[in-house]
Chains A and B, each alone.
Chain A
Amino acid sequence: MDIIESKSWVEWLITIAKFAFCFVPVLYILLLIPMERRGAGFMQDRQGPNRSYIKIPYFGKIRLLGYVQNMCDGAKLFFKEMFAPKGVSKFLYYVAPAIPFAIIFISPCVIPWFGPMVFEWGGKAVTISGAILDSEVGILLLFGFSSLSAYGAVLAGWASKSKYSYLGSLRTTAMTVSYEVCQGISMMGLLVLAGSFSLTDIVSWQEQHVWGIVAQPVAFFCFLIATIAETGRAPFDVAEGDPELVAGFHTEYGAMHFGMFYMGEYAHICIASFLVATLFLGGYSVPFVTTETMQAHMGGSLAILCGVLAFLFLAFLHMMHRYSKKLLASKQSNKMVILQEYKLYKIVGWLAVAVFVAAGVCSWMFYNPVQTVVDGVLTNTLGAALGTALIHLLVLVVKSVFFCWVWIWVRWTLPRFRYDHIMNLGWKIILNIALVNLVVTAVVAKLLGGN
């Protein structure tokens, strides 16, 4: 009871609400799948999957810019029969896909989604951390969770009773182990600079000094490469190298078993991109603007945010308009159906623009919260704190989406490495560079008189 009463209801509400962040990777999967498929299409001068549609009575067909295809695929995976091949180890076979899937929900706990909220409530200054679990060893926890997902692949390969799966899982094992070493060592320099294992501390160090990518550019590259390898994506996807191993460790999986591996892979990308963004791109911090400045001009900040969003919608509308024009001039027989759908998007787009412009103008003109000093701490109102958290969150999302894009980008650009090349790269090159980088960082830090 003491614990309950030690916090006000608002604190409790926000603390519990933070658990919703556990579902961020799942939302990212919904984003990443179309991004990967259509992104791959664009890179290869294709259109990507865009033909599935939903028939709406009295309106026509909507394709949601190709998103319906992913819905169809998901539905198909979901409703397919799940079966195990003859002779597999049933328990391990069924458990294996659950491991990477479970990690989706655990990993986001330690990521700081926004800066510590400091606001005045009931005459007291209240501080709420941006992470669900603000651990002192957050980054180690995250690494631990991340490594666990390799067990899914290993168990799947072992349980499938297939030589291809087995080889795939062997490769996964060796590669994950190798690149985790690289990953850990390459990140050490930054930890030395920040002097903490806590992700919140690392972000606040970057906020106060410089972003990790500036302080540790070599470490950034090493870490990025190691993380791509860790997620098992191209060019490091020897674990499921189709020409050699059919589909690697998930050869024998179908339906939602495979779907869980699939989602686990994308969630892993999501977590990894959050990690890279947090460690090297300043996490939730807004570039060139300190949190204090932002809080002091909260109305203006929200107005700028609304303006950016309105601009994005305007750009979208412009593209829609251009494409409609081209389509109208073409001889495509179903163009009127598509144009009608575009008309809908245009209406929605203009509505969004109107709403954001109105909201931006309103917040700029009328929203001007006051800051007070409570218990010797500069606090904001609850609204200003929530607004700050929103901006922080959006900034973090933008950074992480960029890194997700990097993952897709790299996959559709670089050809797959040979297995021995991967091992050479990991042990002989990246590890050594990371070690040198760590030593140099430590010496420089000591000489410059850090802690």
Chain B
Amino acid sequence: MARVIKQKPMTIIERLYIFEAMRGLWTTLKHAARGLFRYEQLPTISYPEGQPEINNGYRAKHRLMLRPDGTPRCVACGMCAAACPAHCIFIEATQSDDPRIEKRVMRFDIDHLVCVFCGLCAEACPVDALRMDTKKIVFEHRTREEFVAHLSDLIDWDPKDYPEDAQSQMAPGGTKNAEARKVWGMEVK
């Protein structure tokens, strides 16, 4: 049902227009003066030389977390693909060589042209393998195929870029990798 919003009738001053116009002129003058005399305070970012600050919660390009031995944590369960509303995740699984690990991901493709960056995949991941915290928001490629991030692309990240994240530090190259590797290497009976 349509809702009728009663509008306040205009006063005589407003109906005269000229005073309201002057109020508008005053507003724009203030902004223009700010631009001229406080040019450095304009919110514009000179992209691409200047990049915006990305907050921690921002859903940017995906990455796959790594185990201490450098293999992707992903167990190819397909939960992310099932949760994906855009159907842009393609996963193929295979048997793992590690006797303690059943399933290993063989193909993990994310088509970033189709992706809507909703973050449901990262939410769905049962092993915290898929994250969207790379803060990479710029996707520039020449062909459509290059927009598809493959497994090798997704696991290619540096723990130094995530200094505050303990999980990332357990990956090879991280500060906690050595001790995590010690626990990881616990021998099979």
Report which A residues bind B (CB closer than 8 A): 38-39, 41-47, 51, 221, 319, 322-323, 326-327, 330-335, 409-410, 412-414
Q: Which of A38, A43, A319, A335 is the one whose CB lies under 8 Å from B28? A: A43
Given A41-B35, A42-B36, A47-B44; 5 other pairs, CB 8 A cutoff: A45-B34, A409-B28, A410-B25, A413-B24, A413-B27
Q: Are B21 and A414 interface neighbours, CB within 8 A? A: yes
B139 interface residue per 8 A CB criterion:
no
Min CB gap A107→B, angstroms = 27
Q: Please, which residues of chain B bring their CB within 8 A of the CB of A410? A: 25
Chain B residue nearest in CB terms to A330: B50
Q: Are A323 and B25 interface neighbours, CB within 8 A? A: no
B42 interface residue per 8 A CB criterion:
yes
Q: Please, which residues of chain B bring their CB within 8 A of the CB of A47? A: 35, 39, 42, 44, 46
Q: Are B39 and A319 interface neighbours, CB within 8 A? A: yes
A-B contact pairs, 30 of them (CB 8 A): A38-B35, A42-B31, A42-B33, A43-B28, A43-B32, A43-B35, A45-B44, A46-B35, A46-B42, A47-B35, A47-B39, A47-B44, A47-B46, A319-B37, A319-B39, A323-B40, A326-B40, A331-B50, A332-B49, A333-B50, A334-B46, A334-B49, A409-B25, A409-B29, A410-B25, A413-B21, A413-B24, A413-B25, A414-B21, A414-B24
Interface string of B46-66 (1 = CB under 8 A from A): 100111000000000000000
| Smallest CB-CB A-B distances: 5 pairs | A42-B35, A326-B40, A332-B50, A334-B49, A413-B28
Q: Are A43 and B25 interface neighbours, CB within 8 A? A: no
Q: Please, which residues of chain A bring their CB within 8 A of the CB of B29? A: 409
B99 interface residue per 8 A CB criterion:
no
Task: Report the separation of the CA atoms of residues A51 and B40 in the bound assembly, to the nearest whole angstrom.
Answer: 16
Chain B residue nearest in CB terms to A41: B35
Q: Please, which residues of chain A bring their CB within 8 A of the CB of B24? A: 413-414
Min CB gap B35→A, angstroms = 3
Min CB gap A195→B, angstroms = 30
Task: Report the separation of the CA atoms of residues A327 and B44 in the bound assembly, to the nearest whole angstrom.
Answer: 13
Q: A409-B29, A414-B24 are contacts. A46–B50 as well, Cβ < 8 Å?
A: no
Task: Report the separation of the CA atoms of residues A413 and B25 in the bound assembly, to the nearest whole angstrom.
Answer: 6
B43 interface residue per 8 A CB criterion:
yes
Q: Please, which residues of chain B bring their CB within 8 A of the CB of A44? A: 31
Min CB gap B17→A, angstroms = 9
Min CB gap B3→A, angstroms = 26
Q: Please, which residues of chain A bring their CB within 8 A of the CB of B43? A: 45
Min CB gap A327→B, angstroms = 7
Task: Report the separation of the CA atoms of residues A43 and B31 in the bound assembly, to the nearest whole angstrom.
Answer: 5
Interface string of B94-121 (1 = CB under 8 A from A): 0000000000000000000000000000
Min CB gap A415→B, angstroms = 9
Q: Please, which residues of chain B bring their CB within 8 A of the CB of A45? A: 31, 34-35, 42-44
Q: Which of A39, A46, A412, A414 is the one whose CB lies under 8 Å from B44? A: A46
Q: Are A42 and B40 interface neighbours, CB within 8 A? A: no
Q: Are B49 and A412 interface neighbours, CB within 8 A? A: no
Q: Are B35 and A323 interface neighbours, CB within 8 A? A: no
Interface string of B1-39 (1 = CB under 8 A from A): 000000000000000001001001101110111111101
Q: Are A42 and B34 interface neighbours, CB within 8 A? A: yes
Q: Which of A38, A326, A333, A409 is the one whose CB lies under 8 Å from B49? A: A333
Task: Report the separation of the CA atoms of residues A249 and B35 in the bound assembly, to the nearest whole angstrom.
Answer: 33
Q: Please, which residues of chain B bring their CB within 8 A of the CB of A412? A: 28
Task: Report the separation of the CA atoms of residues A351 and B80 in the bound assembly, to the nearest whole angstrom.
Answer: 65
Min CB gap B54→A, angstroms = 12
Task: Report the separation of the CA atoms of residues A373 and B39 in the bound assembly, to the nearest whole angstrom.
Answer: 53
Q: Are B39 and A409 interface neighbours, CB within 8 A? A: no
Q: Are B39 and A323 interface neighbours, CB within 8 A? A: yes
Task: Report the separation of the CA atoms of residues A412 and B27 in the bound assembly, to the nearest whole angstrom.
Answer: 11
Min CB gap B97→A, angstroms = 44
Q: Please, which residues of chain B bring their CB within 8 A of the CB of A413? A: 21, 24-25, 27-28
Q: Please, which residues of chain A bring their CB within 8 A of the CB of B27? A: 413
Min CB gap A173→B, angstroms = 25
Min CB gap A156→B, angstroms = 30
Min CB gap B22→A, angstroms = 10
Task: Report the separation of the CA atoms of residues A322 and B51 in the bound assembly, to the nearest whole angstrom.
Answer: 21
Task: Report the separation of the CA atoms of residues A410 and B31 in the bound assembly, to the nearest whole angstrom.
Answer: 14
Chain A residue nearest in CB terms to B45: A332
Min CB gap A368→B, angstroms = 38
Q: Please, which residues of chain B bring their CB within 8 A of the CB of A221? A: 18
Task: Report the separation of the CA atoms of residues A413 and B37 in the bound assembly, to the nearest whole angstrom.
Answer: 19
Q: Are A39 and B32 interface neighbours, CB within 8 A? A: yes
Min CB gap A76→B, angstroms = 23
Chain A residue nearest in CB terms to B39: A323
Task: Report the separation of the CA atoms of residues A311 and B44 in the bound assembly, to the nearest whole angstrom.
Answer: 29
Q: A323-B40, A414-B21, A414-B24 are contacts. A42–B32 as well, Cβ < 8 Å?
A: yes
Min CB gap B25→A, angstroms = 5
Q: Which of B28, B35, B40, B51 is the one whose CB lies under 8 Å from A327? A: B40
Task: Report the separation of the CA atoms of residues A323 and B38 in the bound assembly, to the nearest whole angstrom.
Answer: 8
Task: Report the separation of the CA atoms of residues A43 and B26 in the bound assembly, to the nearest whole angstrom.
Answer: 11
Q: Please, which residues of chain B bring their CB within 8 A of the CB of A327? A: 40
